[in-house]
Structures are given as C-alpha cells and as structure tokens.
Amino acid sequence: MIIVCPLNKLEKIVDDHNPSHVVSLLGAQSDMPDLRERSDAEHLKLSFNDISNPREDLVLPGANHIDALLQFVAAWEQQRPMVIHCFAGVSRSTAAAYIAQCALNDTLDELELARHLRAASPSATPNKRMVELADLTLKRDGKMSAAIASIGRGADAWEGNVFNLAVSI
C-alpha cells in the first residue's frame, strides 16, 4: 500500500502505519523531516520545488530526482506500506505515487491508474514535469502524461487529504 499525505500529517501516519519506506519531496529551502526516532523506515529525501517550468531561484524537478525515486520504489519489498509526502500532499506526492504505481505495474493501463488516483484524492494535481520525466524514463510513450492530463486539475485545496493507493489494481 502507498499512503500519500501532507507534511503536517507525516508523524501520525508513520506512527500509525509503521512504513518500511518514506519519500519526502520538499523544496530546496525546506528542512527535511528526521524520522530516526520514530521509524526504522528507509527514507528518500528529494529536494526540489513544486514547479513544472524553470523559475529563478527555484529547483526544477529533474531526471536525477525521478531516477532516484524509481530506484527507491524498485527496492521496496512491499511487506509494509510506503509513505509519500510533500508539503501540501497535492502535487509532488501525488505525482510520485502515480509514478510508483506505473513503475510497479508496467502492464496496467496508465489511464486506469490515473482514474484511481483521482477517485482516491479529489484534490490531486500531480506535478506535470515529474510525470513527463517518468513517462520518458519508463518508456510509456506519453501515455502517463496524457492520462494525468485527462483527469485534469484537482479540486482547489490548501492541503490534500491523506489517502491510500493499492500497489496493483
């Protein structure tokens, strides 16, 4: 199971679900959470801003970030949950969760996975650049990007809801 949450819910989610893996996706200026006292989970910390186009003084998601995410997901044995969070739980974390599902289910339809994401989180607005980069890396021929475009922007929200995605559907 993949659990997606905003930063301010992370400690409770870690305490309640005892994940084996945690992915933190925060801006370059943000302090990364330290889970050593709370969890024995492997913890991937990626620093980039929630942008899809270059902007001065901000860090654009890059292929190196997506490669690190995909390697981390591939190493996950799926015996315990993986928690993925960003600051608000709306864009970077939902993109990473979708990317993880696609990477772990290379035969499943990208649109079906995107629709499951939308059903789980009405506010999910996956970061377009992250999905585009993963689409290239996973050789999905634009299907991931098209699927996310088809579900459209999520409902306006200051913070996303905590939600779960099955590893496979």
How many C-beta atoms lie closer than 10 Å to residue 130's C-beta? 28
What average pLDDT does range 91-105 have in this prediction? 97
Per the structure block, which two tokens stand in for 88?
């608000």
Q: What CATH number should be reported for the domain whose range is 2-152? A: 3.90.190.10
Question: pLDDT tens across 15-27, in order?
Answer: 999 999 999 999 9
Looking at the predicted structure, is the pLDDT value of residue 123 above 80? yes
Q: Residue 39's pLDDT band (boundaries 50, 70, 90)?
A: confident
What average pLDDT does range 96-108 have in this prediction? 94
Looking at the predicted structure, is the pLDDT value of residue 107 above 90? no
Percentage of the chain lying above the pLDDT 90 cut: 87
The domain ranges of the chain are: 2-152
Q: Residue 168's pLDDT band (boundaries 50, 70, 90)?
A: confident
Given a contact cutoff of 8 angstroms between Cβ atoms, the answer to whether 49 and 30 are in contact is no
Distance CA 111, CA 124 (A): 15
Residues in CB range of 62: below 8 A, 6 or more apart: 48, 133
Start-to-end Cα distance in the chain: 11
